[in-house]
Amino acid sequence: MKGYEYFMRMNKEDNAVARQEFEEAIALDPEYGALYTMLAWTHLMDLPFQSSESPLISLAQASKNIKKALALVDDDYLAHLALAQLYLIRKEHDKAVSAAERAIGLNPNGAAAYGQLGFVLTFSGRAEEGIKLIGKAMRLNPIPEAYLLSHLGVAYSSLGQYEKSIEVHREVLKRTPNYLFAHIYLTASYSALGREKEARQQAEELLRLDPAFSLDEYAEMNFIKDEAELERHIDDLRRAGLK
């Protein structure tokens, strides 16, 4: 539970602490499959957090732990959600959709499953469908965690609904002030709307959290399927002063 708390803060430093907690828990109970799933998530997040010394090694570690989790509990829907994220990072969008749909089949009332499928569909160029599924996730979990709100904000951004994205991500930061992706999407949304001062303020907050943030590395690790959409997103961040 300590590891999960750190993980859900969604930033580089807390992700590293979460990994330590999960590794310590595995040492105490090596047959508890959910721990391997969460450990896999920390390796997956190393890529967007730009904290991976080698993306290939991070993906290999994530894959190994997902396989271990599924070997222990094949019908663990959370492990299939991690698998969906692994495919998404690899830009295998169709496989990511299938893995998230499998998770829903295993747990039809799981808010996280609908949220993840909505997230995957958003990055696959199907943001309108994504919003509907994220909305269903929020009906199942009427006090949604920050990541679900962020998924919704990302989908709004994908559709060019930047005011809505800003509103949602401001709420994310009220709950989780150091949520890295909220700062990224606020920066991009303000920039897209021509609100230069606010965009640069958010860019400064982003660099406070991650002084080594690299726009080139972020673009390389981004899994937006549509190249034109990705280019617009990167241009919005660049206009805010990020490099």
CA dihedral over 121, 122, 127, 131, signed as positive or negative? positive
* pLDDT tens readout for residues 147-156: 999 999 999 9
Average pLDDT over residues 105-121: 97
Q: How confident is the model at residue 12 (pLDDT cuts 50, 70, 90)?
A: very high
Q: How confident is the model at residue 136 (pLDDT cuts 50, 70, 90)?
A: very high
Q: How confident is the model at residue 8 (pLDDT cuts 50, 70, 90)?
A: very high
Angle between helices 162-175 and 180-192 (to 10 degrees): 150
Average pLDDT over residues 82-105: 98
- The pTM assigned to this predicted structure is 0.95
Q: How confident is the model at residue 95 (pLDDT cuts 50, 70, 90)?
A: very high
User: 148 and 111 in contact (C-beta within 8 Å)?
Assistant: yes
Q: How confident is the model at residue 47 (pLDDT cuts 50, 70, 90)?
A: very high
Report the alpha-carbon distance of residue 185 to residue 180 in Å, rounded. Answer: 9
Mean residue pLDDT of the chain comes to 97
pLDDT at 135: 98
pLDDT at 157: 98
Superfamily name and number for 145-243: Tetratricopeptide repeat domain (1.25.40.10)
User: 176 and 9 in contact (C-beta within 8 Å)?
Assistant: yes
- The residue to which tokens 């640069």 are assigned: 200
The C-alpha torsion from 109 through 111 and 114 to 116, rounded to 10°, is -140
pLDDT at 232: 98
Domain residue extents for the chain: 145-243
User: 187 and 193 in contact (C-beta within 8 Å)?
Assistant: no
User: 86 and 59 in contact (C-beta within 8 Å)?
Assistant: yes
pLDDT at 205: 96
